[in-house]
Amino acid sequence: MLKTILTPKLYLPIVYIVGAIVVYKIIIHLLNKTLFKRKGKKKTTFQMNKEATIINLIKSIIKYLIAIIVVLAILNLYGVQTGAIIASLGIVGAVLGLAFQDTIKNLLSGITIIFDDHYVQGDIITINGFRGEVIELGLQTTKVKGYNGEVLIIQNSAITSVINHSMYDTMYYLSFSVSNNVSLKQLETILNNINKKLIKMNEVKNDMQLLGVEELCGNHYIYKVLIDCKSDNHYAVNRAFMKYLKEEYEQNNIKVPGEYLEVKVGNK
C-alpha cells in the first residue's frame, strides 16, 4: 500500500509543480532586485513606466515557459511522447501563423513599441490627429483616452507614426502684452513675484527665465519668458501664470492693455 502511494507517478507531478512555483518566485525576486536597479541619475517618469511595462512582459513570458515545461515533464512521466507533441505543435503553429497573421503583426508591433521607447502607459501622445493619455498598452492594441473622455482603440500594427508629448520635459515660451505705462523695472519686479509662486508648483522644475521684450507695438509691448516645466504640463502652468499676473496687475493698479487698432487712410 505504501509503495503504491510513493510511486513516482503520484508524487513527482506534485514535486514538479511545487518546484516550478519555487523557481518562478526565485526568478521574479532576482528580476525585481537586479533588473534596472542601477545607481546614477534620477529616472524620469517615462523610464519608470517603461521599465514596469517590460518587467510585466518578462514575468508573463517566464510564467508561461515554466508552465509549458512542467506540463511536458508530467506528460513524459506518464509515458506520453512529448517529442511528437512538440512536433505537432510546430505544425499547428505554422497553420495558426498563416491564419492569424494580423494578430502576429500586432504582437510584434506591440513589442517594438515597448522596447523602442515609442510610448508607455501614462504618456500623452498624438496618433492620427487624436491626442490623449495612454491608458492601456497591450501586445495587440493601444487605448488612448482623450480629454473629453472618448477612447481611441487602435491596433498596434496600424500605428505608423506617433507624437509623444511626455518623453521629455517642456521648455515653455510664454509671450504676453504689457502696457507702455509699465516700466521694464516694474514688470521684472512683478515677474519675480510671480516666479516665487510658480516655483512652488509640482509642474515647474526651475526658476522662470526673463527673456525680455520681443516686440514693440502701438500702446503696448510684448514680453517673453521661459518656464521649464514637466512634460505636457504647460497648460496648467499657463493658467497659473495668467492668474498671478492678473493679481499683480490689480495690486499695482495696472490696466491690461486693450487691442490696438491702427487705421490707415489712403487715396482711392
- All three cell numbers of 135, joined, read 491608458
**Residue 102 CB coordination number (10 Å):** 12
Q: How far apart are CA 108 and CA 34, in angstroms?
A: 26
In angstroms, rounded to a whole number, what is the distance separating the alpha carbons of residues 257 and 147? Answer: 32
The answer to whether 236 touches 203, Cβ cutoff 8 Å, is yes
At which residue does the C-alpha cell 499683480 appear? 248
For 90-133, what is each residue's pLDDT tens digit? 655 555 555 456 667 777 777 777 777 788 778 888 888 898 88
H helix intervals, the chain: 2-5, 8-34, 45-77, 82-99, 101-115, 184-198, 234-251
pLDDT score for 193: 94
Segments of the chain scoring below 70 in pLDDT: 1-6, 8, 35-50, 53, 56-57, 82-103, 232, 258-268
Q: How far apart are alpha carbons 65 and 241 in whole angstroms?
A: 54
The domains found in the chain, sorted by start residue, are 2-99 (1.10.287), 118-164 (2.30.30.60), 170-251 (3.30.70.380)
The x, y and z cell numbers of residue 168, run together, are: 521629455
Q: Are 162 and 126 in contact (CB under 8 A)?
A: yes
Please name the residues in contact with 94: beta carbons below 8 A apart, sequence gap of 6 or more. none
Q: What single-letter DSSP state applies at residue 35?
A: T
Quick check: helix, strand or coil at residue 176? Answer: strand
